[in-house]
Each structure stands twice: as structure tokens, then as C-alpha cells.
Amino acid sequence: QVQLVESGGGLVQAGGSLRLSCLASGRTFSSYNMGWFRQAPGKEREFVAVITWSGGSAYYADSVRGRFTISRDNAKNMLYLQMNSLEPEDTAIYYCVARLPYRPDPLPGNVGIWGQGTQVTVSS
């Protein structure tokens, strides 16, 4: 079973950048699609991005497309989310996830493995 640990969250001003990282334990990391979800205060958990097991394809939520980039390094068991041009609306807990389908807007119920989350706060 893969376990996921996120890092890199913090406080940033609007327009700034952050890079989230996710370290996965377990030898099956490279066989899973990986992704990111987020949950803002008072809102439901929502999809952010997904990347295929090989890293060859990625899909993004409309709200982050063009600003965020998901990537992975299978040799290091690492998943990343580069977030640029951050907006106050991006404030949320960001979750690294594994075992999700590669398709538009997967639901939280479609995700097999969750990390514990890292807080991202964007000030205006």
C-alpha cells in the first residue's frame, strides 16, 4: 500500500508561486495515476490535476489550467504541483492522491489513496 506525505504549503501573496511536493512510499508508486485535490473552508473537496503513471499526460481543472503544472519523478517516488499566479481563491488544503482515473473531473470517491494534506494560504 502506498502512503503519501505532502510538503511545501505555506502563506504567499496573490500573484506569487509555490511548489507542493508529495513523497510516496511503496514500490507500486510508478504504476498509479497520481493527482491533487483541494478543499477550501466551507467547500467540498475538488479535483485539481491528474497525471498518468508514466507522466506522459496530465489533465487540469478549468480553474487552474494554465497556472498550475503537475509532474512526477518515478525514480524518486515524488509528485509535484507547481502553482503560479496564485489567487486568494486558491486558498485550501491540498491533498496528494493516488489510484484515480485519468479522466476529466474525477470525484473524491474515485480516489483510492489520500495524503494528509498541506495548507496553502494566498493573501490578497
Q: Which residues fall within 8 angstroms of residue 76, CB to CB, at 6 or more apart?
A: none
Query: Do the beta carbons of residue 67 and residue 14 sit within 8 Å?
Result: no
Amino acid, res. 27: R
Confidence of residue 29 (pLDDT cuts 50, 70, 90): confident
Residue 27 pLDDT > 80, yes or no?
no
Pick from 91, 19, 79: which is nearest to 53 by CA?
79
For the stretch 92-109, pLDDT in tens is: 999 999 999 999 999 999
Strand partners, 97: 35, 114
Share above pLDDT 70 across residues of the chain, in percent, rounded to a whole number:
100
- Backbone phi and psi for residue 98, each to the nearest 5 degrees, phi listed first: -135, 160
